[in-house]
Amino acid sequence: MDQSAARVERKLEYEMNLVREAIAMVANGASPRVVVGGLRFGEALIAPARGLATEAGVRLVPIWMPDDAGADIAFERISDV
């Protein structure tokens, strides 16, 4: 693996860890909503993050950027009401 591919892989893993932490914060009741912004690979993380969020009882809301600049991701508590 070349250095560029290794950097991309590290960045993806870093961003996925941010997503996991945000899901955990909402699922554990630490916050009703967490937005993970400034993600370089936000659009690519939506599908795997949605699965993790659903398993944790959390809703994923993509926040699409203008001009196809990718997406930030919000995680929200799913109300029991």
Please give the backbone phi and psi of residue 3, each rounded to the nearest 5 degrees, phi first.
Answer: -65, -35
Among 76, 71, 63, smallest CA distance to 39 is for 71
Please write the tens of the pLDDT for every residue from 2-49.
899 999 999 999 999 999 999 999 999 999 999 999 898 999 999 999
Give the global pTM.
Answer: 0.89
